[in-house]
């Protein structure tokens, strides 16, 4: 029920959840950073980002990655 602007503040394209967290140029830069820093493949969808994306990674490592990714998503 967002009533604010519907255009991305970073690239002026239509803003959707997928665009904001995955498709925007800024999001792609952030995900590339995550890939380089942790050597893990970025999420390919919003559902896996908030669900099964880190399955198979040790719990302690996954906890640190989630904390970092949450901080990045908050920044966006």
**43-62: per-residue pLDDT in tens?**
888 888 777 778 888 888 88
| Average pLDDT rounded to a whole number, residues 8-29 | 88
Q: Tell me the C-alpha distance between 53 and 44, whole Å.
A: 9
Do residues 70 and 21 lie in contact, with contact meaning Cβ atoms separated by under 8 Å? no
Q: Tell me the C-alpha distance between 67 and 2, whole Å.
A: 26
What is the value of pTM for the model shown? 0.67
| Average pLDDT rounded to a whole number, residues 70-75 | 77
Q: Tell me the C-alpha distance between 43 and 60, whole Å.
A: 19
């Amino acid at each position: 029920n967002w009533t604010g602007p519907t255009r991305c503040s970073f690239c002026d394209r239509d803003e959707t959840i997928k665009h904001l967290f995955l498709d925007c140029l800024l999001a792609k830069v952030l995900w590339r950073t995550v890939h380089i820093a942790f050597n893990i493949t970025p999420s390919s969808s919003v559902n896996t980002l908030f669900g099964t994306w880190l399955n198979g990674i040790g719990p302690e490592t996954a906890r640190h990655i989630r904390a970092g990714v949450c901080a990045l998503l908050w920044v966006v």
